[in-house]
Structure 1
Amino acid sequence: MLFQVGGQGTRPTFFEMAAAQQLPSSLRAALTYFYRPFLHKVLDYEDEFFALLMLVLETHSLRTTDASFAESLYGLRRRAVKIRVKKDNPRSDVGDRIHHSGLEKHQKVLSVVFMVVLPYFKSKLHSIYNKEREARLRTSLWGDGDERLDDADYLDGSGNSFVSTSRSDVEASVATHLKKRIQKIVGACYPWLHAGNEGLSFAYQLLYLLDATGFYSLGLHALGIHVCRATGQELMDTSSRISKIRSRERERLRGPPWLKAVQGALLGCTYTVLDYAQTGLIAAVFFFKMMEWWYQSAEERMSAPTVYPPPPPPPPPKVAKEGIPLPPDRTICSLCSEKRANPSVLTVSGFVFCYACVFKYVSQYKRCPVTLMPATVDQIRRLFHDV
């Protein structure tokens, strides 16, 4: 075990259970990110590859530690729940009547089903639903672009019709139609199944957080399993238990000496991989999180707007020789030689006049009265504060 989250009592905290539940998804993302440049063909079947990997890890972990792979990292153990009824005091607290025992074989098998098989089918249904949704979106945007021809009759060059549909083509069309039918059914049913699953998960997690139930998920409740903290003695006995299991497996080897040697070497390699699987996979998750943070920081730095100093203001427009001269007081209109009323700016030059004066002048001469630059009444802007 690499580390153990501390706490009081044998009941794990909500954060321990949440961390143990989210570890497989982080592990999958880390493996996909880490091996993508090397194993393109393998990761084309990443659902099957990850399901097989988790099947090996979960089976080994449940067999040796009575816990899932993620739970064993946090020092947690799975215990079967048995309620003992006391005849002398039937009104005693329910917590006093709960007895925990080791997992039975069928509970371990069903635990693997809930942790590996069901997530695998959920992932496949999710991918089918995404494809169906993309197909619907493409159809709604571009229409159905498939060229639909008659399945039986075709015309040759002379205009005569003949039957060219073979039996294999019919079977292929039936299989394609059935596949599309299944995709439509999945596309219609999957959102409801997913919403129901997420709702039940949220309800169980909320009840667990409020200490209203001892089951963190529906799967644990269906199996009758509580997740508890491992005691110090259990952690110490784990290595001896693993050694006993492996010694029994070596004793079961049959065949000639050379075959036993080969089988023993294979078992030794398997044991070595399983022993260092936790360290290697946790290192992969740590590497993935570090690279995710690194690239996210780099993208934020690259996408952050660069602050430049404001550019210097452009030089003021020059007064034309034939234009109206500017008064010495900036608050005086150069057209009426009085204090500006309803000041308005002419955008082509930037000079401010009375609105009535500049509107009348521009409407008549189509130019700025100071710079003689071409202008229209659409280029007059009212000012709410005189400058």
Structure 2
Amino acid sequence: MESVHRMTTQSGAFRGAGIGAGVISQQEHTLPSVFDIWAQQSLADSVKPAFKHVVKFMGLWYPKETKSVNKWFDELYLGFSLFLDTYYLKNYGGSFSENFYGMKRINPKTSQIPMGGDRLKSLFFISVWPYLRGKMDELQAKLSEVAEERRTSIAKFFLKYYPYFKTLLAAATIIFQIAYIFNYSTIPTPFLWLSNSKLIKLTPEDLLQFESIPLHLQNGGLLTKLWRFIISIPSVFGRLFTYGLFFVQFLEFFYSSDAAKELSSAHQRSQPPIHPVMKLSEPEVLTMEVDKCPLCFRRRVNDTVLSVSGYVFCYSCIDAYIRREGLCPITYLPATTNELIRLYKNNNTV
């Protein structure tokens, strides 16, 4: 608290000097960076999954006791979120995640914290809207599994236009954030705009006006650092989980691609395969007829050309070789069975 009083004294002295020098005395609001916005949103989005994992974990030991909790988890979390964010909006001017990162909401015109209708709007978009969005996503997934002939007209309308609504909402969010990054707007999300609010950084004066300063906003102390660490766990694990899913999806995509097969076959070979001609003596190579297969050295059967190199082989010979080695036996160029082209002769021609 001493540091807060010291910062307040210095700020007051600066504003006093500004008045004496004819500078505008009203303190300008400091807007949070876009990284602060993303961080608080990440924390807000990761708290619910963290609680859900805890409930699932407890269900391993107490399945009967947690059955009802699992069934009504969304509604129970909605009640918890409404209680928590109502308390923080009323006492600190922002949601729990916003307050954790040292931010509060104000009316863009009056610079006052949300009151009355503005507070209800903020509470709706902070707590109620994520609940409704989750339910609509679940409904979309269920209706998609229903046969089209069994869907009602309302269900068809919902399935047709709900994806457009989500796309429009995502595009609006991107536009708001781009405008915020380039200082064309002071409001980073459409939900803040609909709530008639904008975010600013907390000042030492704000901390002094609080009846009790939240522990994560206090300075120093082992208990403070421990509390900040505990609160940040859902956000950290949420990001790690997201990165992990992306990495797993990348591995699945890579190992299902042709590049992975070629790389795998290359590692299985300690050295390049022997060129077919090297298996013959020089006289045999010079006297070799043009209709012989370079792999079996017999007259070709079902002539097949490998398009990556232009050489012609027996179909059975080159097909088996390509599947095994993944390259042309003559030029060593990478190849797949998709590059095999069958040739057909016209026996009626003279």
What range is the shorter-chain TM-score in?
0.5 to 0.7
Q: Which residue of 1 aligns with 2:53?
A: 33
Distance in 2 separating the partners of 1:377 and 1:128: 56
- Of 6, 9, 17, 2:37 maps to 17
Query: Is 1:215 the counterpart of 2:187 in the alignment?
Result: yes
Residue by residue over 1:114-150, the C-alpha shift from the partner in whole angstroms, topping out at 9 and shown as x without a partner, is 21122222221221112112224xx5xxx87xxxxxx
Distance in 1 separating the partners of 2:98 and 2:204: 16
Distance in 2 separating the partners of 1:207 and 1:53: 33
Distance in 1 separating the partners of 2:118 and 2:146: 41
- Of 290, 303, 321, 1:342 maps to 290
Q: Which residue of 2 aligns with 1:331?
A: 282
TM-superposed CA distance for 1:329, in Å, is 7.2
Distance in 2 separating the partners of 1:297 and 1:195: 25
Q: Which residue of 1 aligns with 2:115?
A: 104
TM-superposed CA distance for 1:209, in Å, is 1.6
- Of 193, 196, 204, 1:224 maps to 196
One-letter amino acid of the counterpart of residue 212, structure 2: S
Kept in 2, the 8 Å contact 1:66–1:78? The answer is yes
Kept in 1, the 8 Å contact 2:293–2:314? The answer is no
One-letter amino acid of the counterpart of residue 155, structure 2: Q
**70-79 or 12-21, which moves further after superposition?**
12-21
TM-superposed CA distance for 1:71, in Å, is 0.7
Kept in 1, the 8 Å contact 2:32–2:199? The answer is yes
Cα gap change, 1:194/1:308 in structure 2, threshold over 3 Å: closer, same or farther? closer
Cα gap change, 1:241/1:63 in structure 2, threshold over 3 Å: closer, same or farther? farther
SS in structure 1 opposite 2:210? helix
Residue by residue over 1:291-334, the C-alpha shift from the partner in whole angstroms, topping out at 9 and shown as x without a partner, is 666788799899978896537999xxxxxxxxxxxxx9712238
TM-superposed CA distance for 1:55, in Å, is 1.1
TM-superposed CA distance for 1:346, in Å, is 6.2
Give the RMSD, CA atoms, in angstroms: 4.4
Percent of matched pairs sharing the same residue: 17
Cα gap change, 1:80/1:332 in structure 2, threshold over 3 Å: closer, same or farther? same
One-letter amino acid of the counterpart of residue 35, structure 1: V
Distance in 2 separating the partners of 1:295 and 1:383: 40
Distance in 1 separating the partners of 2:228 and 2:72: 23
SS in structure 2 opposite 1:332? helix
Distance in 1 separating the partners of 2:50 and 2:293: 62
Query: Is 1:75 the counterpart of 2:75 in the alignment?
Result: no
Kept in 2, the 8 Å contact 1:27–1:284? The answer is yes
Q: Which residue of 1 aligns with 2:85?
A: 58
Q: Which residue of 1 aligns with 2:170?
A: 198
- Would you tell me which structure has more helix in proportion to its own residues? 2
Distance in 2 separating the partners of 1:237 and 1:107: 21
SS in structure 2 opposite 1:100? coil
One-letter amino acid of the counterpart of residue 52, structure 1: G
TM-superposed CA distance for 1:27, in Å, is 2.0
Query: Is 1:284 the counterpart of 2:234 in the alignment?
Result: yes
TM-superposed CA distance for 1:52, in Å, is 1.8
SS in structure 1 opposite 2:69? helix
Distance in 2 separating the partners of 1:44 and 1:205: 36
Structure 1 residue runs without a partner (length 5+) = 1-7, 83-98, 145-176, 243-275, 315-327, 364-375
TM-superposed CA distance for 1:205, in Å, is 1.6
* Count, aligned residues: 255
Distance in 1 separating the partners of 2:164 and 2:249: 36
Distance in 1 separating the partners of 2:251 and 2:175: 40
Superposition TM-score, scaled by structure 1 size: 0.53
Cα gap change, 1:330/1:55 in structure 2, threshold over 3 Å: closer, same or farther? same
SS in structure 2 opposite 1:200? helix
1:1-387 to structure 2, matched below 5 A, reads 10-37=30-57, 38=59, 39-82=66-109, 100-136=111-147, 180-240=152-212, 280-290=230-240, 310=269, 330-333=281-284, 339-342=287-290, 344-345=292-293, 347=295, 350=296, 352=297, 358=299
SS in structure 2 opposite 1:67? coil
Distance in 1 separating the partners of 2:178 and 2:113: 27
Distance in 2 separating the partners of 1:294 and 1:344: 53
**9-18 or 72-81, which moves further after superposition?**
9-18
Cα gap change, 1:185/1:44 in structure 2, threshold over 3 Å: closer, same or farther? farther
TM-superposed CA distance for 1:339, in Å, is 3.4
SS in structure 2 opposite 1:240? coil
Kept in 2, the 8 Å contact 1:80–1:101? The answer is yes
Superposition TM-score, scaled by structure 2 size: 0.58
